[in-house]
Amino acid sequence: MRSWKHSLCAALGVAAMALGSTTATAAPPKPTPAPDTTYENLPAADRAAMRAQDKARTAADRIRRAVEAGHGFAGLELHDGGVRLWYQGTVPTAVRTAVDDARRTAPVEVLPARYSLAELTAASDRVVDHLRAHPGGPAHRVSIAVDGSGLTVGVDGTSGVRSAGLPDVGAPVQVVVQDRVRPAGRSNDTSPFYGGGYLVAQERWACSAGFGVWRGGRKHLLTAGHCGRPGQTWRNGNQSLAVGTAVDENPSQDLLLIAASADSHIFTGVQAGTSIGHVIGWQGVFTGEELCSSAATTTWLCGHVVLDAGNSSYCGHDAYGTWECYTGLVRSRQEDNVIAVRSGDSGGPVVLPTPSGVIAKGMISGGSGADLLWQDFATANAIWGVTPVV
């Protein structure tokens, strides 16, 4: 069976964008890095919404460090300028201490959870195993509730709700109708390469560059794993320049590393624009926070509100008809119901703009309508030890 790793396009063949001509054209001068205006150019309402969450992010980050080893932890959520911590059973002393410390920064509620994240992750894994074994079935994605109440499984149409045929996974499962996720510039970038530009391989399908990163003292570009495979040579969007060669992949987490001359900047303007922002670091993701994306086709788009900070999975067919599943993804929804992802966006950056630069949050996997599914930067850091070029 041919692996989806041999494909640069995403599920159902719609995530990639075919390119017409391979004729090399002269690249324009590389945009000269200038003082970052990404934050200043945001609409005032977007700036206000993001800044209103700053104290809550700081408080939630303090709590998360304390609960990483907590067996009863269910979820963390930014809510109305404060933090909600969902916990099953007795809250350990170390977590209570972290909560008290965090309350000096923002309000924190500690709420009871029916199930722990560990229990629901095991239940979600059983659902994914079922989806993987039933490619013809109506069910195609699953998410864990941040409050520890159970799982949500997405199916095709109202008939799918009745015929999902899911196994008993030891936790409540809500079955809802959801569109299938379709994994999804910046076309003439030059070295050193920026995040958000088109990437093209020999099959002549396009994805987006994520972030320039360091790994083992060498520079790479992060992008989506379903875009390619190790050993594959990548070029810029108009194929005028070689970008680098893919050297490592984590299929289940939808991550790919390309050895390349990478830069600390990402494109933040329209396709033909030269607006850039510089990356100043990376940060974890919280349910409830609002972020921006900057992929090659959709380009700069803000208003992505996180619904699930890293506990969503989906399955779909790749261009060769192989049924594959991607797990541990963040799910967000564009607050104005704007289309969040288009063909060629897979791998593109998700960021938090600040007055000092942009903070790396993750890389796009796919989406449907206003929904965006993406892998958080923390996962790439945990797997490969990568850090952003800054």
Residues 229 and 246: their CA atoms lie apart, in Å, by: 6
Is 160 within 8 Å of 88 (Cβ atoms)? Answer: no
The pTM for the full model equals: 0.86
How far is it, in rounded angstroms, from Cα 223 to Cα 344? 11
Query: Reduced to 3 DSSP states, what percent helix, strand and coil does the chain have, rounded to the nearest 5?
Result: 20, 40, 40
For residue 303, give the H/E element and its range: strand 299-317
pLDDT, position 185: 41
Map tokens 């499962």 to a residue. 173
- The C-alpha angle 261, 265, 268, rounded to 5 degrees, equals 130
| Contact present, 309 and 86 (Cβ < 8 Å) | no
108-112 β-sheet, strand order: 73-79, 82-87, 108-112
Residues in the chain: 390
Q: What pLDDT sits at residue 372?
A: 97
Q: Give me the numbers of helices (H) and strands (E) for the chain, helices first please.
A: 6, 25
Rounded-to-integer distance, Cα 182 and Cα 12, Å: 7
CB 348 within 8 A of CB 198: no
Contacts of 28 (CB under 8 A, 6+ apart): 188
The amino acid that residue 75 corresponds to is G
Q: Tell how far CA 342 is from the center of its chain.
A: 14
Phi (first) and psi of residue 98, to 5 degrees: -65, -40
Which DSSP state fits 12? Answer: G
Residue 21: predicted pLDDT: 35
pLDDT in tens, the chain (390 residues): 333 333 323 332 333 333 333 333 444 556 566 667 788 778 888 888 889 999 999 999 999 999 976 689 999 999 999 999 999 999 999 999 999 999 999 999 999 999 999 999 999 999 999 999 988 889 999 999 999 999 999 998 766 666 678 999 999 999 999 988 876 645 677 888 899 988 987 655 689 999 999 999 999 999 999 888 899 899 888 788 889 999 999 989 999 999 999 989 998 876 555 578 899 999 999 999 999 999 989 999 999 999 999 999 999 776 456 788 999 999 999 999 999 999 889 999 999 999 999 999 999 999 999 999 999 999 999 999 999 999
Alpha-carbon distance 225 to 181, whole Å?
A: 15
Q: For residue 326, which of 253, 232, 247 has the smallest C-alpha distance?
A: 253
Alpha-carbon distances, residue 96 vs 5, 51, 91, 136, 190 (angstroms)? 45, 26, 6, 47, 50
Could you give the dihedral angle defined by the CA atoms of residues 226, 231, 237 and 242, in that order, rounded to the nearest 10 degrees? 160
Q: Cα separation of 386 and 374, whole Å?
A: 17
177 and 130 Cβ atoms separated by less than 8 Å: no
**What is the model's pLDDT at position 44?**
87
Residue 317: φ, ψ to 5°: -85, 140
The label of the residue with tokens 């989406």 reads 367
